[in-house]
Amino acid sequence: MIGRLNHVAIAVPNLEAASAQYRDALLAKVSDPVDEPDHGVTVVFVELDNTKIELLQPMGEDSPIAKFLEKHPQGGIHHVCYEVDDIQAASRHLQAQGARILGDGEPRIGAHKKPVLFLHPKDFNGTLVELEQA
Ligand code: CO
């Protein structure tokens, strides 16, 4: 079912410093910051040959990233995103396997304008997993 690793999302306390580090120390191709108010984040995309890294900084009052950074003030890996062909089928299969889907269980439109869902980290080795219909 799962396909490519679409991205690894890293929450950072200082987006400017983090993107400068990826650009200047790792010599990576980094985007300008993109505000995503619907998701409560500002994102910098780091393009790698085989996947992407998304540097996330909280945007707005009740950003889901803010709580994470309270627990991990230096930043940390927030989630990994795997691609699937059919998100509805993936959702049904995972729920039949006992995995919990965050929110109301229905896929929603994610940061890349594609349907996504998130699996409960307690069911996946302490890792928040995003599935995206590629
Ligand atoms: Co993501």
Instruction: Give the pLDDT confidence of 88-117 residue by residue, as tens digits.
Output: 999 999 999 999 999 888 898 887 889 999
Q: State residue 39's pLDDT score.
A: 86
Asked if pLDDT for residue 62 goes beyond 90, the answer is no
Question: 130 CA to middle of ligand 1, Å?
Answer: 6
Q: Which residues contact 64 (CB under 8 A, 6 or more apart)?
A: 39, 40, 41
Question: 107 CA to middle of ligand 1, Å?
Answer: 13
Active site residue 130: yes
Q: State residue 113's pLDDT score.
A: 87
* pTM of the complete model: 0.93
Q: Please, which pLDDT band fits residue 78 given cuts at 50, 70 and 90?
A: very high
Distance CA 21, CA 38 (A): 27
The domain 2-133: what is its CATH number?
Answer: 3.10.180.10
Question: 7 CA to middle of ligand 1, Å?
Answer: 7
Average pLDDT value for the chain:
94
Asked if pLDDT for residue 122 goes beyond 80, the answer is yes
